[in-house]
Amino acid sequence: MSINSAVTEAAARPYSRWRTGVVRAVIAVGLFVFTFFLRFNTLGGALGGFDDDHFVSFAYAKQVQAGARPLQDFTGLGLQSAWPPLTYDVSALAQSLLGNNLRSEALLAVTGIGLATVLAFLASTYVAPIAVAGGAAVVSALLATRLYNYPKVLALGAAMLLIALYARTPSRASLAALALLSAVAFLFRHDLAVYIGIGCVTAVIATAGALRPAVPRLLGYLSLCALLLAPSAIYIQLHGGMGAYVQDTVAAVRQEARRTERLNLGFVSRGEDGRQLSALEFLREERNAVQWLYYAHVALPLIVLAAALRPSRPRWPGSRPLLVAWGVMALVITPFFLRGNTGARFGDMAPVTAALLSVVCARAFHREGHLLSIVGRAGLAVVALLLSAQSVWAVGEVTHDLDVSGWRHSPIAVIRQAARRWGELAALPDAYWQGTPESPSVAAVQYLHGCTRPTDRILVISYRPELLPLADRRFAGGRASVIPGLLTDPAHQQLLVERWARESVPLVLVEPAAEHVYEIPVAYAHLIDHYVDSGPLPVNGGLTLHVYAERGRPTSGTFGPDVLPCFR
């Protein structure tokens, strides 16, 4: 190479890097816009478009907004109650800053999911061409992460990117970033710190090449995590003790695992109508599509690990330890994330799926080896991608979402739909409090809002997490829902009753079931002594709760055809 050629090539490098950076930024912005409007515009309808499970964390967030603190004022039933409880605090902050309505919650959740898509794309560019990384990110966006799981995908997307940065340039700063992310993930959901921690530890070891040289950095990572979480540990110890907190957390996790255990139903050859499925229809059947995507998620980390262990020279700097870390983390996450109701859970792994899919596609279509090998790899990849795309369409209702969001029509249609959703969600839950109720649960919300004071508390002995947040009322006894089998030992029942007795609780909603008597005898005895069954309260799903009104509390009137008591 001549001196002039070398000078020209050196001068072109900064321009090439600048151009690549601009392209990456443009695609990242485009991915965020696409994901944001895809999810925001498809909200609306029953409960504002939120799942009923979303209102579990939202109910606790509203409690925090009202000044309550976890462990101190209410029982931590999940993996989110250490101080500061970011899942609750961030949602409460959004309500305070953006308005007390479902639009604020939607903006928070949809923004989190959009950022997660961008982070997954940026991470994927370290192991795949930009076009491949962008395509994989679009697929992950179509998997439709449930809104209340935005902390999951946001933390996982950040983990994929920070692990990539560390693997490429191991340094104290990148190691500190991993520790900080692990601590923040713990404060959103404790189990997220475990999954991310496994990826971080694997990245440190794989980058060092062996365990012994990795020990100093591992100690630094773990020490910084412990330092960052020390205030949380002190808070837990002051409010109930670490031992009790761990026991409650384990009990809650076990109960959730039993409730969401995955059933391997296998593929089916006939549709729901009994008709034999053709080859083209096979993956249009949702059950088959779910099975295919499940096995694809199991296979992806195995393929990535196999690619990382190949003796060939990696194309991207630091990619081998990066792929090992990603693969190991995905192997651990998959069985825990893809549990019961598997079809609705693929979106919870969206950033991981995007990154691993980028790796597999980049390696499958890379021109390396003999022509027959290249053609074979590419052919298998194309078939697998087509089958997976068909499955994503069947499971995620992609056509419906693209149509409703406006993306199938025009940018103008997207903006118009967003404007409609903006106004509709801003009016909720206030719009539920008046007018003709559109469902039994909305009628129940009208009753709770109209017949209790804002300072009153309501106890719900059932799993109906949406009722109190939509009625703008706080829960009593330190429990958003009292569910038989979930922390219902005598000590927890006694704590429930003690908190209940100190609060103004005019109403208790009870799901009529024999297990309430046997599972919560202490709480049930307090209910019978101080409250009287005052009539039925139908809710969605064909369920009827019973309204128990406090004995001796003066009423201000009645509500509805069942003449339910009012205390406002």
> Tens digit of pLDDT for each residue in 54-98?
999 999 999 999 999 999 898 866 678 889 999 999 999 999 999
- Do 177 and 63 fall within a single domain? yes
- Do 200 and 309 fall within a single domain? yes
- Do 392 and 498 fall within a single domain? no
In a domain, 413, yes or no: no
Helix (H, G, I), strand (E, B) or coil at 495: helix
- Do 214 and 309 fall within a single domain? yes
- Going 439 to 441 to 443 to 449, the CA torsion angle's sign is negative
Would you place residue 510 in the very low, low, confident or very high pLDDT band (cuts 50, 70, 90)?
Answer: very high
pLDDT mean over 10-29:
76
Question: Which residues, listed in sequence order, are joined to residue 566 by a DSSP beta bridge?
Answer: 557
- Do 559 and 483 fall within a single domain? yes
The token pair at 241 is 């003790």
At residue 9, the pLDDT reads: 46
Judged against a pLDDT cut of 90, whether residue 203 lies above it is answered with yes
Judged against a pLDDT cut of 80, whether residue 372 lies above it is answered with no
Query: Tell me: the pLDDT tens digits for 245-267?
Result: 888 888 777 777 676 666 666 78
> Pick from 379, 396, 413: which residue ends a domain?
396
pLDDT mean over 152-165:
97
- Do 325 and 469 fall within a single domain? no
Please name the residue that has the structure tokens 């799942």: 51
At residue 286, the pLDDT reads: 84
The token pair at 411 is 């940018």
- Do 479 and 381 fall within a single domain? no
The token pair at 269 is 């050859």
Q: Which one, of 447, 457, 548, lies nearest residue 63 by Cα?
A: 457
pLDDT mean over 290-309:
91
**Does a cis peptide bond (omega within 30 degrees of 0) precede residue 84?**
yes
Question: Which residues span the domain enclosing 214?
Answer: 23-254+293-396
In this structure, of 120-124, 261-265, 457-461, 553-557, the range with the lowest mean pLDDT score is 261-265
Query: Whole-prediction pTM value?
Result: 0.92
Please check whether residue 269 is in contact with residue 276, taking contact to mean a CB–CB distance below 8 angstroms: yes
In a domain, 299, yes or no: yes
CA distance 515 to 484: 7
In a domain, 462, yes or no: yes
pLDDT mean over 320-325:
93
In a domain, 171, yes or no: yes
- Do 387 and 462 fall within a single domain? no
Please check whether residue 108 is in contact with residue 150, taking contact to mean a CB–CB distance below 8 angstroms: yes
Judged against a pLDDT cut of 70, whether residue 452 lies above it is answered with yes
> Pick from 372, 396, 420: which residue ends a domain?
396
At residue 250, the pLDDT reads: 84
- Do 386 and 446 fall within a single domain? no
Helix axis angle for 371-396 and 130-142, nearest 10°, is: 30
- Do 436 and 536 fall within a single domain? yes
CA distance 324 to 301: 9
Judged against a pLDDT cut of 70, whether residue 317 lies above it is answered with no
In a domain, 409, yes or no: no
pLDDT mean over 177-202:
96
- Do 541 and 448 fall within a single domain? yes
At residue 8, the pLDDT reads: 46
Judged against a pLDDT cut of 50, whether residue 345 lies above it is answered with yes
- Do 392 and 436 fall within a single domain? no
Q: Which one, of 552, 538, 152, lies nearest residue 336 by Cα?
A: 152
How many domains does the chain divide into? 2
> Pick from 371, 396, 421: which residue ends a domain?
396
Mean residue pLDDT of the chain comes to: 89
Please name the residue that has the structure tokens 């008709």: 275
Q: Between these two residues, 513 and 290, which has the higher pLDDT value?
A: 290
